[in-house]
Amino acid sequence: MLAPRLRARQSPDRWAHTCTAGPPATRRRRESGDWPAGLASVHTGEVTTPALRWLDPPAGPAVELLDQTRLPAEEVVVTCAGVPALIAAIQRLAIRGAPMLGVAGAFGVALAAARGEDVARAAADLAAARPTAVNLAWGVQRGYRAWQQAAAGPQNRAGRHDRGGRQEPAGRQDRARPQVPGAQRAADAALAQAREIAADDARASAAMAAAGLALVPAQARILTHCNTGALVSAGEGTAFAVILAAHRAGRLARLWVDETRPLLQGARLTAWEAQRAGLPHAVLADGAAGSLMAAGQVDLVIIGADRIAADGSVANKVGSYSLAVLARHHGVPFVVAAPVSTIDPATPGGAAITVEQRPAGEVTSLAGRPVAPAGSPAYNPAFDVTPPELITALVTERGVTRPVNAAALRALAGGRDGAEGPLKAVHMELWGA
């Protein structure tokens, strides 16, 4: 297994120290072409470290990541020279967030192809790295499909056959073999597809921000959960992109940031991004959200999503369902922002969503220090599921959908794999209509 290489820095202008030896590219400041067109850096304030970057030879092929587990104390860049290292980074949450996992999955396929590895096996391993976030498997599938079609060649894309004229099983067709004709073409196709996914996600982020702004009243006090900014997207994020748009339009009075236990993605990451963007914000304990709503201090709740089932049920960071129940009780609009790629038509409802269970130590310790008696068991689901009847509106790159139900989701999910042609019309009931 190829271990990831780490480098850390404390300022945006130069590396402060080396964790282990890394390629020369990790010592550079940003140069033109360092990351794919459309892939955003963490660009709030003076910070310009990309959440993900592809490295070409001689530094690569490799995928470079900003290690989100080390924020906000320091910016550490992880260089994944192989798919096992990338999978390890995904599983320990060095890179996270549904849209960015889709981007990472596609670049993982490109990495396996560029290294002449077993692309089918790499794709299967990548897709299984985290079970709940549907974008990961979706991005892997798109990257793999591009590689597979290019590897087959224009004359054989319907499938190869053995000497007896029988079509080879898909698993046998799909194995990457070093030194075979067309291998470079196939690797290039996978990389191009990954870059296209990143560019599409950046455009989707901008479109969500524009559409979601219509839901934000003047002088809004917005509550958000977990982290949904540029760290999780090739653009400015999902829910956080809407919040940024509201701030720029002069509509944001206060951003309430749930700390988001147990890994504190709100306190560590969302507050970090909000501070650098100059947003008026405050961090609160997750358990304080109810009293804040009861005091009339919240005008809107907006979150992201890791998977949206066919009926409109939303899997998101654990604690989201509780917020939805509180918001309904207090008459506060509860909005979900996510790209269409997060909709999974193959999952019929919330009960069918596989919820990832994380290690007990994430709950029984804090910042690496035990807080519970040794050996204490823990219940640590990474996500929970909010039923569609608690969701006021869904914001995607195709507009604002309300109510959120199976019919609306069927329309939104049409063409989610990036098919060419105009987007299907979606029935939309705009806020206040």
Query: Each residue of 159-171: pLDDT tens digit?
Result: 444 433 344 444 4
- Residue 50 pLDDT: 87
The pLDDT of residue 180 is above 90: no
Backbone angles phi, psi at 328, to 5 degrees: -65, -45
pLDDT above 80 (res 313): yes
Task: Considering only residues 172 and 379, tell me which one the structure prediction assigns the higher pLDDT.
Answer: 379
Please check whether residue 238 lies inside any domain of the structure: yes
Q: How far apart are CA 77 and CA 5, in angstroms?
A: 8
Examine residue 93 and state whether it is found in any structural domain, yes or no.
yes
**Shared-domain flag, residues 267 and 383:** yes
Cβ density class 36-72: b for 16+ within 10 Å, e for less = bebbbbbbbeebebbbbbbbeeebbbbbbbbbbbbbe
39 and 141 together in one domain = yes
Task: Specify if 322 maps to a domain.
Answer: yes
Active site annotation includes 417: no
The string of DSSP codes covering 62-74 is: EEEEE-GGGTTT-
Residue with tokens 């590219």: 25
Is the pLDDT confidence value at 2 over 90?
no
Please check whether residues 138 and 238 belong to one and the same domain.
no
Residues 197 and 240 in one domain: no
Indicate if 235 and 376 belong to the same structural domain. yes
Residues 331 and 278 in one domain: yes
**pLDDT per residue as tens digits for the range 334-386:** 999 999 999 999 999 999 999 999 999 999 998 889 999 999 999 999 999 99
**Shared domain check, 118 and 20:** yes
Looking at the domain assignment, is residue 22 inside a domain? yes
Structural domains counted in the chain: 2
Burial of 155-181, coded b for 16+ CB within 10 Å and e otherwise, reads eeeeeeeeeeeeeeeeeebbebeeeee
CA nearest neighbour of 39 among 58, 19, 18, 66 = 66
Could you identify the residue written with the tokens 């604002």? 400
Both 391 and 280 in one domain: the answer is yes
Note down the domain range covering 331: 215-413
Q: Does residue 224 sit in the same domain as residue 340?
A: yes
User: Of 169, 202, 235, which residue sits at a domain end?
Assistant: 202
Residue 175 has pLDDT above 90, yes or no: no
- Per-residue pLDDT of 76-100, as tens digits, reads 999 999 999 999 999 999 999 999 9
Q: Is the pLDDT of residue 36 over 70?
A: no
Check whether residue 83 and residue 11 sit in a common domain. yes
Residue 12, domain CATH: 1.20.120.420
Is position 122 within any domain? yes
Contact by Cβ (8 Å): 103, 139: yes
What pLDDT, in 10s, does the model give residues 386-406?
999 999 999 999 999 999 999
305: in domain: yes
Same domain, 78 and 224: no
Would 208 be classed as within a structural domain? no
Q: What is the pLDDT of residue 417?
A: 55
416: pLDDT confidence band, cut at 50, 70 and 90? low
Say if 171 falls within a structural domain: no
Q: What is the CATH number of the domain that holds 305?
A: 3.40.50.10470
Clarify whether residues 258 and 187 are in a common domain.
Answer: no
Catalytic annotation, pick one of 258, 299, 306, 384: 306
Q: Is the pLDDT of residue 64 over 50?
A: yes
Tens of pLDDT along 206-215? 999 999 999 9
Q: Alpha-carbon distance 74 to 272, whole Å?
A: 11
